């Protein structure tokens, strides 16, 4: 292993008369931005991401347990596609340069990229002494120049943590993907150390939903009036039983209560108010950025990370590219002293002293991968509106979110006046409750305006009021909500599964592999995902499929990053425990493979009919955009007998795919799978196309 330890020689300042210096970054956009700041004394070139990957494919050497890992659990590196051309180009540029600066992103992956680039150029006879590592968390002229003045050496602990993760992920993925494909008799399934645990989390929720038994209950609401004042209230107490303990469980109980209520007189028993203050949320981290962008902006995690990468690397604001936000892969909520001062001045000048309340957030993570502070704008004075014309819609929305979360974190608490009115019956048996919330001081909510709430009626204690009406409403308890992408990310973070920087790619993988479906922002487990987790957990429930085990692995990787654990010890220890269980799994895959028809051919809840196309067998109504793909029983026996569309999974050279076809082979109706298990506009279009196809082609 090459370890580059360099002492920094001299300071670098813009405008000095030095020979050319080569600066290597990952992307062309980042290169353009840096080139503008550094000037003519520097050549800034992109490696275009990774140049090395663990060997795989037909030409890979199998000297160890899997391709890309040797018998001593050291990596066997191969070159990425196109890497030879990129290395040769960098080598030509490096020959005439005095210093080579490695300026990849400030995290484990960035350190790994820088390490491989340096190794490739040293193999091309570039001396070690020429290499320096520069690290900056925002791409602004000031931050970049400071980074070059403090150039140092590669952090081999971060490199080792990066490689350690790659090795363990390879050991799990290459060992189990093929075996699982054999066990389930499906081609080229994907099993991953973190992605399979993510599917397991979703399966746990699905099992909880399936085990849920709805219970009937009734709500009773009253409409009251006094002079020209009217207000609503919910029945809150009967004979001293109140809140969650008060359950009206059937129609007879509800009707009995209604009859009694309608015969009584009422008055205001009490009017009580209290003040509640609400603190703003901390600045954004990688995880909270993905969650907020998903819930507020309806952006997928992968789209969010792509947009934030663009904002970090640089946007042309008319005079050249400028980095608009700090590095977007971070677990920290801290803000630098300089940014705190800038934010404070902005708030006081824009909103007044009453709106300013400085807070210093501290991160609780010991993860060495984290950037030095939260995700924030590189300049608070660069308001979203001031640069809106330079951004596309999604870039603007995301920047606006980041800017508001950063500024609001240093604003005063909001203050609300909460008032509760209790209306009591003349026999004091029944009490109705009305709650009102009035914003007294908006504070940080000035940046996040809320909808106006219902105004409190002008009533006082002991006022007599008239009962206008009683409305009873049948309800059923609801199963726990399915995960959205945002709530799944929050759960993974809480459980310590994976790292926030990997969540977007994990979600993409499990969607592409058809392990889950995302419909109207809810995540549904597919039959393939269900059986995949079932089989893996039979052998690995106490290993990598256990949440605590996965959390410990992430902590071990942090320990490597901090220099407290050797990478070789980490990888060898993992394999020692993993290999015997893998052998049992291998034996089972050979002896007891499953019948793939249970998850390759799924009878859907869409009825094939030319007269009434696309009827949902569960509801008896037309299948709609927000209908779930997998339900329970048909509404009645006659609907159960009718021919259905079947979901059929296949694999071709382009990857995993699926389509819909009528289960009657004589019928030629087919459709895109998104009509049944898709989302958004595509689902609407394909569902409409399926209806038209049934009208024209269905023989039923």
Over the stretch 28-58, which tens digit does the pLDDT of each residue have?
Answer: 999 999 999 998 899 999 999 899 999 987 7
List pLDDT tens digits, range 424-469. 999 999 999 999 999 999 999 999 988 888 899 999 999 999 999 9
pLDDT tens string 374-383: 999 999 999 9
Residue 523: predicted pLDDT: 94
pLDDT of the residue at 627: 85
pLDDT band at 9 (very low <50, low <70, confident <90, very high): very low
| Contact present, 312 and 326 (Cβ < 8 Å) | yes
Crossing angle, helix 500-512 and helix 195-211, to 10 degrees? 70
Q: Is the pLDDT of residue 16 over 50?
A: no
Domains, in order of start, for the chain: 21-154 (3.40.50.140), 172-212+481-591 (1.10.460.10), 216-279+414-476 (2.70.20.10), 286-294+315-408 (1.10.290.10), 597-697 (no CATH)
Residue 401: CB partners within 8 Å, gap ≥ 6? 284, 289, 292, 293, 296, 297
Q: Decide if pLDDT at 474 tops 80.
A: yes
Q: Please name the residues in contact with 639: beta carbons below 8 A apart, sequence gap of 6 or more.
A: 607, 615, 617, 620
Q: How far apart are the first and last CA of the chain?
A: 68
Strand segments, DSSP code E, in 397-453 are 414-425, 430-441
| pLDDT tens digits for range 606-641 | 999 999 999 999 989 999 888 888 766 788 888 988
8 Å CB contact between 221 and 470: yes
- Per-residue pLDDT of 643-662, as tens digits, reads 999 998 877 666 667 899 99
Task: State pLDDT tens for residues 236-267.
Answer: 999 999 988 999 999 999 999 999 999 999 99
Gap between the Cα atoms of 609 and 628, Å rounded: 20
**Rounded CA Rg of the chain:** 31
Condensed to tens digits (0 to 9), the pLDDT of residues 321-344 reads 899 999 999 988 999 899 999 999
pTM for this entry: 0.89
Which positions are catalytic? 327
Residue 138 DSSP code: B
Percent of residues in the chain assigned helix, strand, coil, to nearest 5: 40, 20, 40
Burial class (CB in 10 A: 0-12, 13-18, 19+), 431: buried
pLDDT tens digits, 505-554 = 999 999 988 899 998 889 999 989 999 999 999 999 988 899 888 889 99
């Amino acid at each position: 292993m090459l370890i580059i330890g360099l002492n920094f020689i001299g300071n670098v300042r813009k405008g000095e008369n030095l020979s050319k210096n080569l600066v290597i970054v990952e992307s062309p956009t980042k290169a353009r931005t840096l080139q503008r700041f550094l000037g003519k004394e520097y050549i800034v070139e992109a490696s275009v991401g990774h140049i090395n990957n663990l060997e795989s494919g037909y030409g890979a050497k199998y000297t160890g347990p899997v391709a890309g890992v040797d018998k001593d659990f050291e990596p066997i590196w191969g070159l990425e596609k196109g890497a030879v051309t990129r290395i040769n180009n960098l080598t030509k540029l490096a020959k005439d340069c005095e210093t080579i600066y490695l300026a990849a992103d400030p995290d484990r992956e960035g350190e790994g990229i820088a390490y491989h680039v340096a190794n490739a150029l040293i193999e091309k006879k570039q001396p070690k002494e020429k290499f320096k590592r520069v690290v900056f968390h925002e791409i602004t002229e000031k931050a970049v120049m400071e980074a070059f003045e403090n150039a140092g050496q590669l952090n081999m602990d971060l490199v080792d943590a990066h490689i350690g993760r790659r090795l363990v992920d390879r050991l799990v993925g290459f060992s189990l993907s093929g075996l699982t494909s054999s066990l389930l008799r499906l081609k080229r399934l994907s099993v991953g150390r973190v992605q399979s645990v993510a599917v397991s989390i979703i399966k746990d929720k699905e099992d909880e939903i399936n085990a849920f038994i709805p219970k009937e209950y009734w709500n009773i609401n009253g409409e009251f009036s006094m002079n020209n004042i009217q207000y609503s209230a919910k029945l809150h107490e009967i004979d001293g039983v109140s809140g969650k303990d008060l359950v009206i469980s059937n129609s007879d109980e509800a009707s009995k209560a209604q009859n009694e209520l309608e015969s009584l007189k009422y008055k205001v028993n009490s009017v009580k108010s209290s003040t509640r203050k609400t603190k703003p949320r901390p600045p954004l981290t990688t995880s909270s950025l993905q969650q907020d962008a998903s819930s507020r902006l309806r952006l997928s995690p992968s789209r969010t990370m792509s947009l934030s990468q663009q904002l970090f690397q640089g946007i042309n604001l008319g005079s050249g590219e400028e980095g608009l936000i700090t590095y977007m892969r971070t677990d920290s909520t801290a803000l630098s002293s300089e940014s705190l001062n800038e934010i404070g001045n902005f708030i006081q000048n824009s909103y007044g002293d009453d709106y300013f309340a400085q807070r210093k957030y501290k991160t609780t993570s010991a993860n060495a991968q984290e950037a030095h502070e939260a995700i924030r704008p590189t300049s608070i004075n660069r308001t979203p509106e001031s640069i809106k014309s330079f951004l596309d819609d999604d870039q603007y929305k995301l920047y606006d979110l980041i800017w508001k979360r950063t500024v609001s974190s240093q604003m005063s608490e909001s203050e609300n006046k909460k008032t509760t009115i209790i209306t009591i019956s003349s026999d004091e048996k029944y009490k109705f409750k009305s709650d009102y919330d009035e914003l007294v001081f908006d504070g940080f909510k000035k940046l996040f305006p809320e909808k106006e709430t219902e105004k409190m009626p002008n009533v006082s204690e002991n006022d007599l009021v008239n009962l206008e009406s009683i409305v009873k409403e049948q309800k059923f308890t609801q199963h726990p909500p399915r995960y959205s992408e945002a709530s799944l990310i929050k759960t993974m973070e809480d459980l310590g599964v994976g790292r926030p920087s990997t969540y977007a790619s994990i979600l993409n993988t499990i969607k592409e592999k058809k392990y889950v479906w995302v419909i109207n922002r809810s995540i549904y487990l597919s039959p393939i995902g269900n059986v995949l987790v079932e089989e893996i957990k039979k052998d690995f429930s106490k290993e990598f499929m256990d949440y605590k085990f996965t959390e410990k692995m992430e902590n071990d990787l942090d320990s490597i990053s901090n220099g407290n654990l050797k990478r070789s010890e980490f990888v060898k220890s993992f394999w020692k425990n993993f290999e015997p269980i893998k052998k049992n799994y291998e034996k089972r895959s050979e002896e007891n493979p499953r019948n793939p028809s249970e998850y390759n051919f799924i009878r859907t809840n869409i009825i094939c009919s030319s007269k009434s196309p696309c009827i949902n067998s569960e509801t008896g109504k037309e299948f709609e955009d927000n209908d779930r793909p997998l339900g329970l029983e048909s509404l009645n026996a006659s609907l159960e007998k009718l021919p259905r569309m079947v979901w059929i999974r296949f694999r071709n050279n382009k990857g995993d795919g699926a389509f819909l076809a009528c289960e009657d082979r004589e019928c030629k109706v087919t459709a895109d799978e998104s009509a049944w298990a898709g989302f958004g506009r595509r689902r609407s279009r394909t569902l409409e196309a399926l209806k038209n196809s049934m009208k024209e082609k269905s023989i039923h």
